[in-house]
A and B are shown apart, each in its own frame.
Chain A
Amino acid sequence: MRVNFTVNGRKQEADDVWEGESLLYVLRERMGLPGSKNACEQGECGSCTVRLDGVPVCSCLVAAGQVEGREVVTVEGLADYAKHREDAHPGGGCASGACGTSIDAAQRWQAKPVDGQTGEAGALSPIQQAFIDAGAVQCGFCTPGLLVAADELLERNASPSDQDIREALSGNLCRCTGYEKILDAVRLAAARQEEAV
Chain B
Amino acid sequence: MDFLRPASWEEALAAKAEHPTAVPIAGGTDVMVEINFDHRRPEYLLDLNRIELLRAWEVGEETVRLGASVSYTQIMENLRAELPGLALASHTVASPQIRNRGGVGGNLGTASPAGDAHPALLAAGAEVEVESVRGSRLIPIDAFYTGVKRNAMAPDELIKTVHIKKADGPQQYSKVGTRNAMVIAVCAFGLALHPETRTVRTGIGSAAPTPVRAKAAEEFLNAALDEGGFWESGRIITPSIAKQFAELASASCNPIDDVRGTAKYRRHAVGIMARRTLGWTWEQYRGTGRSLEGAA
Contacts and interface: CB of A to CB of B under 8 A. Distances in A.
A49 B94 CA distance: 14
Among A46, A66, A68, A149, the most chain B Cβ lie within 10 Å of the Cβ of A66
Contacts of B98: 43, 58, 61, 171
Contacts of B59: none
A27 to B, nearest CB: 15
B100 A57 contact: yes
Interface stretch (A16-24, A84-92, A116-124, A186-194): A16-24
B32 A56 contact: no
Nearest to A148: B97
B37 A41 contact: yes
A22, A44, A61 — which one has the most chain B CB atoms within 10 A of its CB?
Answer: A61
B96 A168 contact: yes
Interface string B28-39: 110111011100
B34 to A, nearest CB: 10
Interface residues of A, number: 28
Interface in A37-84: 41-44, 46, 49, 55-58, 60-63, 65-66, 68
A170 interface: yes
B96 A42 contact: no
Given A1-B3, A19-B3, A149 B97 contact: yes
A65 B32 contact: no
Contacts of B37: 41-42
A162 B255 CA distance: 37
Interface string A162-197: 000001101110000000000000000000000000
Contact of B96 (A19, A44, A171): A171
Interface string B16-41: 00000000010111011101110001
A62 B95 contact: no
B182 A171 contact: yes
Contacts of A61: 27-29, 32-33, 36, 98, 101
Nearest to B99: A171
B291 interface: no
Contacts of A58: 29, 97-98, 101
B180 interface: yes
Q: Which of the listed residues A19, A20, A42 has the most CB atoms from chain B within 10 Å of its own CB?
A: A20
A56 B96 contact: yes
Contacts of B100: 55-57
Contacts of B33: 41-43, 61
A56 B32 CA distance: 17
A171 B49 CA distance: 23
B47 A65 contact: yes
B45 A65 contact: yes
Given A43-B29, A61-B29, A149 B96 contact: yes
Contacts of A63: 3, 25, 28, 31-32, 35, 45, 47
B51 to A, nearest CB: 12
B153 to A, nearest CB: 21
B70 to A, nearest CB: 13
Given A19-B2, A170-B182, A46 B97 contact: yes
Interface of B: 1-3, 5, 25, 27-29, 31-33, 35-37, 41, 45, 47, 49, 94-98, 100-101, 180-182
Interface of A: 1, 18-20, 22, 41-44, 46, 49, 55-58, 60-63, 65-66, 68, 149, 167-168, 170-172
Given A20-B35, A60-B32, 15 more contacts: A19-B2, A20-B1, A20-B41, A42-B33, A43-B29, A56-B96, A61-B28, A61-B29, A61-B101, A63-B31, A170-B96, A170-B180, A170-B181, A171-B97, A171-B182
